[in-house]
Amino acid sequence: MATEYTRDFVGPIPALIAATDPANLRTWPIRDRRPLKQWGSGRATIIGDAAHPTSPYAAYGAGMAVEDGYFLGRRLAGVDLADHQQVRTALDEFEAPRRPHTARQSQTAFVLGKVSHYTPKPLRPLRDAMLNHTPLLQKAVGEATPGEILDQIAEVDRAEAAFTTRPIS
């Protein structure tokens, strides 16, 4: 089946796949999921792909997982882990700004994946002309995404400032 899917790929990919023992070939389906309305419950939360699985078209899923780890760590720093309410508040404060940011990125990746790989055949020349000859992709992704990543770096600066000035209990 893999040789069939990749028959029209540029060389040497079809030859490499044809030369591989079928027992060592894996297909890796990519699925999209709607953004979750809530990540945490009680003393537990989720981060990374568990919270916001993002297809590769954003090239940012691992980046957001790392960001999650950082912001979660900063929110929990100094919190009395035996105090349920303190932990819950920290998890809510962690989650509130992360959900909209990660949802935007995963939804952008979803749309890019659809446009890139699922445009009906008759519409593909139109899609290619639009991507090649209009500033749409540059505006929607090339300019917007770096801006949103820079916003996250500014968030890191704010979290660092709050962390270094917050008294540890």
Ligand X SMILES: Cc1cc2nc3c(=O)[nH]c(=O)nc-3n(C[C@H](O)[C@H](O)[C@H](O)COP(=O)(O)OP(=O)(O)OC[C@H]3O[C@@H](n4cnc5c(N)ncnc54)[C@H](O)[C@@H]3O)c2cc1C
Does 39 bind ligand X (CB under 6 A)? Our answer is no
Does residue 34 contact residue 60 with C-beta atoms inside 8 Å?
A: no
Burial class (CB in 10 A: 0-12, 13-18, 19+), 74: buried
Mask 62-81, x = binds ligand X (CB under 6 A)? xx-x----------------
Does 105 bind ligand X (CB under 6 A)? Our answer is no
Nearest-approach distance from CB 141 to ligand X, in angstroms: 14
**How far is it, in rounded angstroms, from Cα 131 to Cα 108?**
15
Nearest-approach distance from CB 139 to ligand X, in angstroms: 21
Name which of 48 and 113 has its Cβ closer to ligand X.
Answer: 48
Does 13 bind ligand X (CB under 6 A)? Our answer is no
**Cα 53 to the chain's mean position, in Å?**
6
Return phi, psi of residue 87, to 5°: -65, -45
Q: Which residues pair with 41 in a beta bridge?
A: 44
**How far is it, in rounded angstroms, from Cα 11 to Cα 71?**
43
Does 46 bind ligand X (CB under 6 A)? Our answer is no
Does 159 bind ligand X (CB under 6 A)? Our answer is no
Nearest-approach distance from CB 63 to ligand X, in angstroms: 4
Kindly provide the residue ranges of all beta strands, DSSP E only, lying in the chain, ordered along the sequence: none
Does 56 bind ligand X (CB under 6 A)? Our answer is yes
Name which of 54 and 152 has its Cβ closer to ligand X.
Answer: 54
Q: Which residues pair with 44 in a beta bridge?
A: 41
Q: Determine the residue type at 133.
A: H
Does 48 bind ligand X (CB under 6 A)? Our answer is yes
Among residues 39, 60, 71, 94, the one that binds ligand X under rule CB under 6 A = 60
Residues in contact with ligand X by CB under 6 A are 48-49, 54, 56, 59-63, 65
